[in-house]
Chains A and B, each alone.
Chain A
């Protein structure tokens, strides 16, 4: 029983201005959907606060490691079309572009993807459109330091907490780099985007709300990633609707990351980081967190299968 048809986004707090002479990023090209993300905002689900955080957790941690940051420092998460930022301040900033594969340039000159790049003051670092995968991660030595909300700098697109979606001209402050030393690793293997998304599913808690046939169907059917997917959920299409054994409304209950919720159209939705904390559609199974990083990189149209975990 939600009091609305859909969650309404509202503007979050303003991005902190650069003000001082400290290092910062100025957004030159915001891209389709670029947000600030860290490890997210856990511990507040009982107040209706989604966890948010980078959808591809391993990419967040690897990108941070490559620039010498703590693993959960705040980075930029791009969607499909990349973004471009100018580095301001007095010193060069070590940066890395990882996650989705793309062309990387510094002031128009080709630079390494997935490895640390030194960006001089005033230069523009650009992550081009994704050629493999969907979500890119731009980490900077020192990390992004907009004002945290409830302990996290992540943008939460369901409820509007945290820094707003990036727009051209925004200025984002960077923190002081932890170390002036070059990081220990400079080239590392990054996982590729999945040609097929195979999601191991733990049945329940509401598998009993579906017919035996629906559960067999779910374990064998082929779906595709829908274009209507977002940070709230990976929606599926092109597969069979799952038949309910129990009709009626499920009293609202707590939802976990990776929950596979089945709305009235019968097509499974995999809850991602900005998912609502409570919901009234039955959850047929749960995808373990470790499998969700690949879901974050699955472009619309990617085949999806659910297999028994």
Chain B
């Protein structure tokens, strides 16, 4: 760990800032481990971000100083539940992504499907996970002009992230495919409600087009 910084976010919350996304994921995993072991004081929400973890509803203010001295083991790549998501790689931005990556169009699905992803954090909509795993040289920009409507299940890339839209919405990410059964992403009647919760390991599996 290259060091952590604990910032106050109002009187009841602490924002822990880490040196990188990978360190933030490791720190988040450590928080969950300590909570499961009964070693963490009461905290209402633990919300990971790109390089931070927010602890909201913190009563014990001394926690900030204690966290700064924790020894956090590096993220175990085999930790976390593995989820396989069948997708059809037929998105309208495949050619643009192939250009950005400097590969042939049919290489994009192959590279994407052999990548092991992790849900770094959620946001934007219930059940929307920001997945990391693609190496830095495969980052792509958002589209210059966002689409007014992206269908539910759209598999999309932007910056270092991959995501699947849980429901139709406007969107500016590059669309490379679709998940034929997007309703499984979010179901508040199910436990857990989100298929892609923070820390989950994810692999995309190329499926035949059925529609």
Contacts and interface: CB of A to CB of B under 8 A. Distances in A.
Interface string B151-166: 0000010110101010
A42 B57 CA distance: 10
Contact of B169 (A8, A204, A279, A288): A8
Which one of B47, B192, B198 has the greatest number of beta carbons of chain A within 10 Å? B47
A259 interface: yes
Contacts, number: 155
B195 to A, nearest CB: 10
Interface stretch (B68-76, B97-105, B108-116, B170-178): B170-178
Contacts of A287: 10
Interface string A199-212: 00010111000000
Interface in A1-31: 1-8, 10
Given A4-B172, A46-B47, A150-B188, A254 B54 contact: yes
Interface string A154-184: 0000010100000000000000000000000
A1 B127 contact: no
Contact of B126 (A4, A6, A161, A206): A161
- Overall SS of chain A's interface: loop
A166 to B, nearest CB: 21
Contact of B47 (A10, A45, A159, A309): A45
Nearest to B152: A10
A177 to B, nearest CB: 28
A3 B8 contact: no
Interface in B95-141: 121-128, 130
B9 A3 contact: no
Residue picked from B49, B53, B158, B192, most chain A C-beta under 10 Å: B49
Contacts of A251: 21, 49-52
A276 interface: yes
B194 interface: yes
Contact of A288 (B11, B44, B130, B192): B11
Interface string A20-57: 00000000000000000000001111111100000000
Given A251-B50, A286-B13, A46 B45 contact: yes
Contacts of B63: none
A2 B142 CA distance: 10
Contact of A256 (B9, B125, B127): B9
Contacts of B163: 3
B129 to A, nearest CB: 8
B7 interface: yes
Contact of A6 (B47, B161, B170): B170
A75 B10 CA distance: 28
A5 B173 CA distance: 11
29 contacts: A3-B163, A3-B165, A3-B171, A4-B124, A4-B146, A4-B171, A7-B124, A43-B44, A46-B45, A46-B121, A47-B127, A48-B124, A149-B188, A159-B126, A202-B8, A204-B9, A251-B50, A251-B52, A252-B121, A252-B123, A252-B130, A254-B15, A254-B47, A254-B52, A256-B54, A256-B56, A276-B124, A278-B123, A279-B123
User: Which 3 residue pairs of A and B lie closest in terms of their CB atoms, listed nearest first?
Assistant: A254-B54, A286-B10, A278-B123
Interface of B: 7-13, 15, 21, 44-54, 56-57, 121-128, 130, 142, 146, 150, 156, 158-159, 161, 163, 165, 167-173, 188, 192-194, 197-198
Given A7-B124, A205-B15, A278-B49, 10 more contacts: A2-B123, A3-B124, A3-B128, A3-B158, A5-B170, A7-B169, A45-B47, A47-B197, A48-B124, A287-B10
Interface of A: 1-8, 10, 42-49, 149-150, 159, 161, 202, 204-206, 251-256, 258-259, 276-279, 283, 285-289, 309
